Structure formats: C-alpha cells, structure tokens
Amino acid sequence: MTYRAPLQDLVFSLRLAAGREALEADGLYADLAGGLAEQTLAEAARFAEGQLLPLDREGDRIGARFADGAVITAPGWREAYAQWRAGGWNAIAADPDFGGMGLPALLNAACTEIWNAANISFALCPLLSHGGVEALESHASDALKETYLGKIVSGEWTATMNLTEPQAGSDLALLRTRAARHPDGSYRLTGQKIFITYGEHDLADNIAHLVLARLPDAPAGVKGISLFLVPKFLPDASGAFTRRNDVRCAGIERKLGIHASPTCTMIYEDAAGFLIGEENNGLACMFTMMNNARLSVGLQGVALAERATQAALAYARERRQGRAPGASETSAIVEHPDVARMLLTMASLTAAARAICFETAASIDRARRDADPARAREADERASLLTPVAKAFSTDIGNDVTSLAVQVHGGMGYIEETGVAQLMRDARICAIYEGTNGIQAIDLAGRKLAMSGGARARREIDDMRAIARESGEAALAEAVEALAQASEHMARAMKDAPAQGLAGATPYLRLFALARGGTLLEKGAKLARRENDPNAKRYETLSRFFAKNVAVAAPGLARMVMEGAESVTDARAALGS
Amino acid sequence: MTYRAPLQDLVFSLRLAAGREALEADGLYADLAGGLAEQTLAEAARFAEGQLLPLDREGDRIGARFADGAVITAPGWREAYAQWRAGGWNAIAADPDFGGMGLPALLNAACTEIWNAANISFALCPLLSHGGVEALESHASDALKETYLGKIVSGEWTATMNLTEPQAGSDLALLRTRAARHPDGSYRLTGQKIFITYGEHDLADNIAHLVLARLPDAPAGVKGISLFLVPKFLPDASGAFTRRNDVRCAGIERKLGIHASPTCTMIYEDAAGFLIGEENNGLACMFTMMNNARLSVGLQGVALAERATQAALAYARERRQGRAPGASETSAIVEHPDVARMLLTMASLTAAARAICFETAASIDRARRDADPARAREADERASLLTPVAKAFSTDIGNDVTSLAVQVHGGMGYIEETGVAQLMRDARICAIYEGTNGIQAIDLAGRKLAMSGGARARREIDDMRAIARESGEAALAEAVEALAQASEHMARAMKDAPAQGLAGATPYLRLFALARGGTLLEKGAKLARRENDPNAKRYETLSRFFAKNVAVAAPGLARMVMEGAESVTDARAALGS
C-alpha cells in the first residue's frame, strides 16, 4: 500500500487557512512566501515516502520489544531517526534561540500530517518531543532551557509526557506520584505512570520526562499538581549525561495498534527532578503542551484518513467486479455508485477535518505573530475554540474513514497483509489519548463556548453563515442555523442544567464540525474556482457532496442536543447506576 | 471480561417477534410454549458461558495454525467441539428426518446470538455447517442427503461454503473453478477458492465443501454456475470415509480478527464432487444457504454488540473519574452524562438490531409453518425484505458499538489484555462477508423494495406508521414518514435513474433500519408496560433514547437518498475514474 503526500491539496489548504490578507498584505506569513512552503513540503514528502513509509508495515508486525528494562525499537527505526535528526526535521517549529527554524505552526501542521500518514508510530516520538519543547519554552527556567531545550529541539534527546496513572486518566486530580523537595533545590519523585509514549527507547541518548506530581504540602485536587523534568540520565562529575536516574520502564503494552510506538509503564523511585514553572502550577504548564498535542493528534486523524482514502481509491480503480449502471462489461468498483459514495465520504471528511486543523494552526500563528494585541488575543481565543473540534472531529473521522477503507477493500481489507486494517487499528487510539473525544466535547460545550460571554463562538458562526449564504446551498445554510440554535441552547443549558448540557456535548461538537467543515470546504471551492486552481472541479465536487450528504445530518444533531439530552439524564435506572 | 447471556431480554424479544397471536392463538409456536424456550436458552447460556467463552481470548491470541496442509485449531477447541456435538447443539434447527430437533428459526436465532457473543470464532464453524444443511435439505438428491445430511446435522462432519475466488468476490459471474462430468455421474472440480471459513480443521472427521463451479458447456455469467458437494474424504472400498479427495488447504490468512477461525485457501485438482440441485442452477441453491447465513451474520453483529455493551457497562460502573454534575465526590464514569450517552447508544442500537433480526427469523418460521398459503407467502416476502436490513444494520452497529466499548474503556480499551479491542477486531468482518453491506443495501433498494410492486414494503411501513402514531413520539413519526418518502423516491429512481438509486442505497437501508428498529423498540416497550414486565422501565428508556437520539437522523438520511445521490453520480471526475 503506497502513500503519496497530497502536496497540491496541502499547499492549497495552507493558503486557504492562512488567508490571502495574512499572506500578501500584513506579512504575517513571510516565511510561507517565495515557494518556501512548497519546497519544505516537497522535501518532507520525500523523506516521509522514502524513509518512514517503508518501515511502517514491518514496525506493525514486529513492534517495539521490551527486555531487561530496555526497549528495542523495530528494525530500521534507529537509522531512520538518525536521518530525521540530520535532516533537521525535528526543529522546524521550535524557537530559533534554541536551534529551531521557527517556521509557522501552519506549515508544521502540514508536515505533521505527512509524517503521521507515512508512519504514525514513528511520528509519535517527535510529536511528544515537540510538546515538551513548547512546555519548556514557555515555562522552564533559563538554566533548564540551557541544558535541555537545544538537545530536544535538535532531536539528540527526546521528551515525554507523564500524566496518566492507573487510577488517574481523564481525572488528573486523582494522581498520586509524589515529589519531595531536595536540599539542593531539585526534587525527588516517586510513583508509577502508565501509557507513556516512548517512555523508553533506543533512538536517542537521553529522555527528558515531563512528569506531573504532588508536593507533600500541596492542596488537594488539580491545584496541587506540579510539573517536573526528570531526565533518564543525569550529568556525572564531568558534566556528561551518563549517570542513570532512578526512573525505569517496567514494561510495554500489547496494543490494538501503533505497535512500533512503545507504550511504557514508568516507575519513579526517588528519581531526581527539576521543577518546571511554579510549584502547584503544573497543570497550566502541562496544558501548554497538551493544546499543541491535541492539534497534532487531530492531524494524526487527518493523516490516517488521507492515507486510507488514497489506498481505497487506488484499490477501487483497479479491482473489477460487476457492471456499473450503463456499463457493458465488468467495471472497476470505483464506477459503482455505492462505492463512489464511500470514497466521496472518505475524501470529503478528510478534506473538512484538514481544513479545521489548518484553520486552528493558522489561528495559533496569528496569536503569536500579529503585532496588534487585540487581533492576537482574538486569534488566541479562536485557536482555543477550534482545538477541541480539530482534535475530536479529525480523530472520529480518522476512525470512520479507515474503517471505510477496509470496507472498500472487501475481504482483502480484513487480511493484515493488505495494510488497511493496520490503519484502522492505528487510528483507534487517536480518539482516546490527549483527552478523550468526550473530554474535548465537554471542553467545547463548556469552557470554549463560554469564552468572552459567547462572543467568540458567535463570530465563528457569523463567518460560517456568511459563507453558507453566499453559496446558496440550502443544506449548508441549514447546518449553520442548526449550529446557531444548538449553541444558544447549549450555553443556557451549561448554566441552568449542566447535566443536560453535558449529555449533548458530543453531538454538539459533531454539529459544530459539520457546519465549520462544510463552510471551509465551500470557501476553498470558491477560492479555487476564482484562481483557476487545477483542482477546482474536485474541490467543488467534494464541497457539494459534503453539504448534501454529510452536513445534512446537522438538523438531526441539533435535535439530539436540544431534545435528546433529557432522555440521557433520565436514564440512570436503565444503566443500573 | 465476562459475558452473561441476556436471558430476560432474549425471551422477551422472542415473544415480541413471535407475536401474541402466533404464540397463543394459531399455535404456530407450540414449541416455544410451556417454558421450552426459556429452558433451551438457559442451557445454551450455560454451555456458552462455561465452555465457549473461556476459549475466546486464548483463541484470539494463539489463533488457528497451518502446517503441512493441516489446520490445528487453538487449544481446547477440539474438546469444546466434542461437547458441542454431545450436547446436541448442532442439531437444534435441522430437519427431524435427519436427526435435527426442528426448533423454530426464531429460537435458533437467540441461540446463535449467544454462541457468537461467547466466541464468534468457534460459532462460525457450526454457522457454516448450518448453511450447508439448509442447502442440502432443499436441493440435494436423496442419495446425497442419505450420506451427508445426518452426519452434518449431528456435527460429526462439518460443511463449508466455497464461493469466493481471487477475481470473483461480490461478482460471482467471474468465477472460474471448473467442473467436468465424470462417466460415473459424479464430477471433477479444478480451481482455487479463497476466504473459506473452516475450509480445513481438526474438529471433525470429514468436511463437506459446497463449491460453486462451471461446467464446460455452461452459459456465461451467473446462469452458468453449478453447486457441488466435494467431501474432504471419499468412501473406500469398505464404505469408510478414509480416501483423501483431491482438495487441499494451501494456507490460512493472517486477519484483523476472528483469529481462531481458520480462513483457508482451498485448491481443487480434479477433486471428485457431486451435483447439488440442477446443473447451472447453483446460484439459487447457494442463495438458500446465503439467506440463512445473512441472518446469522446479522446476529453476530448483535452478539458482539451485546457483549461489548455488557463490558462497557461493567467498566463504567466500576471506573471512577471526575465528579458528575451534582456529585460531591469522584463518580463512577457511568454517572457522567457523556458516558451515559455512549452506553445508551450501545444498548439501544443493540436492542433495535436484535428486534429486526428476530422479526426476520419469526417471518421465516411463519413462511415455513403457516398452514395458510397466502400468509406463508406474505411472511416469506417479509423475511426477504428484512434480511438485508437485519444483516447490514446489525453488522454496522456491531462495528459502532464495539468501537464505542473501546472508547468507554479509554486507554484501557486500546490494550489487548482488556479484551474489548478483540470484539472490535472480530466484529469488523461481519459487514463484509456473506455479501458486503453495500450489496445488502442494493438488494434492499432494488429487488426487495420492488417485491409485489412495492406492496410488501408499503405494508411494512404501514405497520411502522401505526406504532409511531400510537406512540405520540414525534421523532418516530418523522422517521417513518421520511422512510415512506424515501421509499417512493427510491422505487422510482431504481427504474428511471438506477445510478442515482444505487447511490442512495446505503443511507436508504440505514433509514429503513432506524424506522423499523425504533418502532419495534416502541412496540416492545408498550408490551412490557402492559404486561408489567420487570424490565419495562428499561425498555421504555431505551425506546425513548433511540427515538430522540438515533432515529432523529432519519430526515437527514432521507435527504441523502433524495437530494444527495446526484452529487455522487456527478462525481466521477473527482474520483479520477
């Protein structure tokens, strides 16, 4: 099963998300101009297709192995990681002060899609490192930055996120890992963390674990959590990082997918650690890294959906079965309307999810780069609003689209040899980690919808409404109005009857994504038409299909939010609870 | 992960599907009366929970193995199969003339759900044998019946279905396996079949392969296909079945799921075979076995959905994270409205799919048993109408519900040790085999909707309408009207613009299932209330939830059928075809 990075689509999506004004007038994206974006993506594609993709299937088959506290990555992994570093790919989005290239989050998003499509198990390692870089950039002391940041940016060392414990998953208030103050100003951590991605591996010389723990005198709950950096190796007397810290990997999980990405249980026994940010303010620091990671996980959904769509389309063009309407001989199955529906569903969901993710990334860039503080603040709120939608919708459709790819392949799809089953297995984690999609929905319906008294969400909906009106597509206009109504209902419910609001959160997020995704596709189709883009016809087709076959679910979703929630909250008896 | 056969729900669903009249007045189900149904199901549950369930996880882990042309089933499989036979379970639905118990298809359906929930990989073997029994009962010569039927009914031998070839999956017209007439009246078959479930194994002394092949002078296409019985062992001079026939297993597939069910490539090289039915009439014979198998596969979807729902509910009652609205301490996650929504979605989809499958089985029984030929014919048409809905909807929701079970388990769901990931992997095949769900949708929208000039479908919709009206539930009434409109549109489209009809087939089937499923749940809730059933409150809750949160998608689906199909048929360029 092959994969070619969809360069034309990615470049077009970048331009759509960046916006003409930002690209041309206000200079916000000088670093996307002059062919740099195209060139970077073409190089990224070459590396992903040439180095990462060939390792993906064997990585799944062989997986990472655990022996005597060490993790051995799959064959070829070490060499590929060395080349990844040598190519400078680890550093593209990081701060130039620490060796990064400082490229926009938007371009990084497109690259992230490419890496994850080629090999999600590999891409998870730098994805976590990148989250670590962001947390350290924002919150670490200069001394910590000095020691760690440059090496993590270059990829010489990697970083991990240590949140989950057996009793503390979505609820971090329950975590028990303890941190004690040490006379030298450092800390000593003791506890067990589970589900730690690349918690141990043989790709890099050192691993910087970012670990949430409690100080002895910390307040209860999430306000008593601090963030620490716990390196695998500490410096010896000569300053070389050769001294093993008291953190070890106790085993790795046997999982449904991402077999080549080691998921580690980590044991901390009086391990030396260094505070990041302030004591008891760890959650805020961790959120810096989580928000970034949430967008990246959304892009994993897009990535696997794109690869699955390519695989299904290639198979459907080749496989011949039955006669399509009007055909005089056996047809390629792509000609059968029911198969075409599946392929269009896959392609349009992928394009919509990509558009939402890229829009989120562009908002992050504007928040960071716009010299006008009001515009920067507005963009920051917009990124906050869109992040849970980008994460949850993209990973939901990652599941849907990879499953449809299996379906298009028929019996062959169920055979592991074909490779699409792996995509479905790999994709399944994305709706779970970095905050389950239920958590994302609650974040959207609660915190995000309420930002600025609801004004930010209303402006987002106004933007959708303008696009829908201009399109003349009734299904799109109805989707936006359904969202507008459901949003008002949701904002009220979260105040007056939170249980009912929460019961409608998941359909609300889906509704938001259908309206936002559909209008972004429409905006893109219009831009492409205006500019005589070679793919204009295809973008129009996908936009129209999405409006009439996907967004058309919006009124039903609005009813679930507004009329269906009560049947959830009334149902405790039926659940035996 | 445990599973308890939901005996109260099964018995209630049997009564609902059988109908009061058939049970009490016209004596159609004398063999369900007097506690026989309850007793049979309780025994089946004991066997499934005690013997089959304990083998399921290890069967997945170890799988069936292939060596030197033989297939070795997983540890414990042979002993369990011997007990299965000894318990008489293989024979419950077969003709008493050949050692069967002749129990109704409806009771067999409930048992089929139980076996497949406990261990789908095991249950597949008798499922295929049962299909073989039906084909032989209906079409085989007395001599063939004499030799084979009794032994397959008892389970001493097993049967297989050999349809698929590498180039012929959904399109049987393309099959190439050749059959030559032999002077002794038998035939010699040569060719390759793939994806043959239990094509080779060590559970029974002989395997009767039912094989589709072409005679040398056969007409082209599906009208030139004949059905043959090709035994693994032929009789020697003494009449003992010790002489190996020229059919062998060339290997088994490595699959996403059902690891313990061997999926074989079978090679026929001048293998001796015996005609079943008439020459060139093989497809009709095969359809006898397919129709039965389609309902059984639908029940596999129900089975895995039921087991997944039980697992998720048990986990959600135990796992404590976060505070539910109004709670003063950490809550079991079942208390969180978003988790409750997932669980209610799972339970109500499962109940709706079960109701449709059981209704189909009851129609099969009436078609066979009703002394009134008009009523029998009507019931036969009804079974034909409902079969594709039972197969496709139940297996679609099998995918949805098992995936939701993973989601409810969070990170634990992604770990193979937990067991729910296996359910998701196992379930994925059900939407593909025995006719993909796309093929089912086309069968419904084309052949089945057109039966008796559309009268049979209209009567089905009238029945739904009456229930919806009486319920006073607006969402249900709208679902039925959406179906009524879409059905008229579809009937016209299949005549005037078949490509557009076919493009709407999949959403049409889903729409049909939502209206039929929702009205059956409502009918059941009312019956339970009237009879003071101990589960009446739960059935009402599920019915109400389904109407307001699942069936509410119906108008959107109708629009996809009526307004969305054109955007599919216009889209060829976008698919590069």
Q: How far is CA A195 from CA A70, A255, A259, in A?
A: 16, 11, 13
Task: Give the span between the Cα atoms of B94 and A83, in whole angstroms.
Answer: 64
Segment holding B209, helix H or strand E: strand B206-213
Query: Which chain B residues contact residue A335 at CB under 8 A?
Result: 572, 577
Q: Do A556 and B560 touch (CB under 8 A)?
A: no
Residue B129 · residue B152 · CB < 8 Å: yes
Of B414, B432, B433, the CB nearest to A429: B414
The whole-number pLDDT of residue A178 equals 98
From A165, A335, A378, A434, active-site residue: A434
For the question of residue A434 being annotated catalytic, the response is yes
The label of the residue with tokens 């409750």 reads B340
What is the distance of C-alpha B186 from the center of its chain? 33
Task: Give the span between the Cα atoms of A348 and A544, in whole angstroms.
Answer: 9
3-state secondary structure of B331: coil
Listed by number, the residues of chain A in 378-417 with a beta carbon closer than 8 Å to a beta carbon of chain B are 399, 403, 406-407, 410-411, 413-417
The whole-number pLDDT of residue A576 equals 67
Residue B228 · residue B275 · CB < 8 Å: yes
Task: Give the span between the Cα atoms of B243 and B233, in whole angstroms.
Answer: 5
From B434, B460, B473, B481, active-site residue: B434
Other C-beta atoms lying within 10 Å of the C-beta of residue A515: 31
SS3 labels along A212-270 = EEECCCCCCHHHHCEEEEEECEEECCCCCEEEECCEEEEEECCECCCCCCCEEEEEEEE
Q: Does B54 touch chain A (CB under 8 A)?
A: no
Q: Does B8 touch chain A (CB under 8 A)?
A: no
Q: Does A514 touch chain B (CB under 8 A)?
A: no
* β partners of residue A213: A226
Task: Give the span between the Cα atoms of B45 and A300, in whole angstroms.
Answer: 42
Q: Does B503 touch chain A (CB under 8 A)?
A: yes
Closest-CA residue of chain B to A420: B256
Q: What is the ipTM of this complex?
A: 0.98
What residues of chain A score a pLDDT lower than 50?
Answer: 577
The whole-number pLDDT of residue B287 equals 83
Query: Which chain B residues contact residue A554 at CB under 8 A?
Result: 556
Listed by number, the residues of chain B in 450-479 with a beta carbon closer than 8 Å to a beta carbon of chain A are 475
Q: Shortest Cα distance from A32 to chain B (angstroms)?
A: 28
Query: Which chain A residues contact residue B170 at CB under 8 A?
Result: 321-322, 410
Which of A338, A417, A426, A522 to mutate: most B Cβ within 10 Å? A338
The whole-number pLDDT of residue A445 equals 98
- Token couple for B472: 């006073």
Q: Is the pLDDT of residue B292 over 90?
A: no
The whole-number pLDDT of residue B290 equals 82
Total count of residues recorded for chain A: 577
Q: What digits encode the pLDDT tens for the residues B495-531?
A: 999 999 999 999 999 999 999 999 999 999 999 999 9
3-state secondary structure of B292: helix
Q: Shortest Cα distance from A443 to chain B (angstroms)?
A: 12
Task: Give the span between the Cα atoms of A57 and A411, in whole angstroms.
Answer: 19
Segment holding B187, helix H or strand E: strand B187-197
Task: Give the span between the Cα atoms of A491 and A501, in whole angstroms.
Answer: 8
Q: Does A174 touch chain B (CB under 8 A)?
A: yes
Residue B369 · residue B28 · CB < 8 Å: yes
Q: Do B337 and A253 touch (CB under 8 A)?
A: no
How big, in percent rounded to 5, are the helix, strand and coil portions of chain B? Answer: 65, 15, 25
- Token couple for A414: 């169920």
The label of the residue with tokens 């849970």 reads A388
Q: Any residues with CB less than 8 A from the CB of A180 and at least 6 apart, and which? A: A187, A188, A190, A215, A216
Residue B203 · residue B191 · CB < 8 Å: no
Of A168, A194, A541, the CB nearest to B571: A541
Residue B202 · residue B72 · CB < 8 Å: yes
B574 band by pLDDT with thresholds 50, 70 and 90: confident
Least confident of A22-36, A536-550, B158-172, B349-363: A22-36
Q: DSSP for B412-449?
A: HHHBGGGSHHHHHHHHGGGGTSSS-HHHHHHHIIIIIT
Q: Beta strand B206-213 with B157-162: parallel, antiparallel or unpaired?
A: parallel
Q: Do B256 and A421 touch (CB under 8 A)?
A: yes
Q: Do A499 and B317 touch (CB under 8 A)?
A: no
∠ at Cα A488 (A487, A493), nearest 5°? Answer: 95
Q: How far is CA B527 from CA B8, B93, B361, B404, in A?
A: 14, 28, 20, 29
Q: What digits encode the pLDDT tens for the residues B110-128?
A: 999 999 999 999 999 999 9
Listed by number, the residues of chain A in 107-166 with a beta carbon closer than 8 Å to a beta carbon of chain B are 164
Q: Do B567 and A555 touch (CB under 8 A)?
A: no
Rounded (10°) angle between helices B420-427 and B53-62: 80
The whole-number pLDDT of residue B211 equals 97
The four Cα atoms A308, A309, A314, A315 give a dihedral, to 10 degrees, of 60
- Token couple for A467: 């696009």
Q: How far is CA B284 from CA B177, B359, B432, in A?
A: 18, 24, 21
Q: Does B443 touch chain A (CB under 8 A)?
A: no
Of B195, B342, B552, the CB nearest to A559: B552
What is the distance of C-alpha A57 from the center of its chain? 22
Buried-exposed string A37-48: b where 16+ CB fall within 10 A, e elsewhere? beebbeebbebb
The whole-number pLDDT of residue B184 equals 97
Closest-CA residue of chain A to B317: A577
Q: How far is CA A539 from CA A114, B141, B150, in A?
A: 20, 59, 61
Q: Do A344 and B407 touch (CB under 8 A)?
A: no
Q: Shortest Cα distance from A31 to chain B (angstroms)?
A: 32
Furthest C-alpha separation in chain B = 84
Q: Which of A320, A474, A457, A364 is nearest to A105 (CA)?
A: A364
Task: Give the span between the Cα atoms of B111 and A119, in whole angstroms.
Answer: 43
SS3 labels along B218-238 = CCCHHHHCEEEEEECEEECCC
Of B330, B340, B406, the CB nearest to A503: B340
Task: Give the span between the Cα atoms of A372 and A359, in whole angstroms.
Answer: 19
Q: What is the distance in angstroms between the CA of the first residue and the CA of the last residue of chain A? A: 47
Chains A, B: CB contacts under 8 A, how many? 292
Segment holding A85, helix H or strand E: helix A77-86
Task: Give the span between the Cα atoms of A542 and B398, in whole angstroms.
Answer: 29
Q: Does A185 touch chain B (CB under 8 A)?
A: no
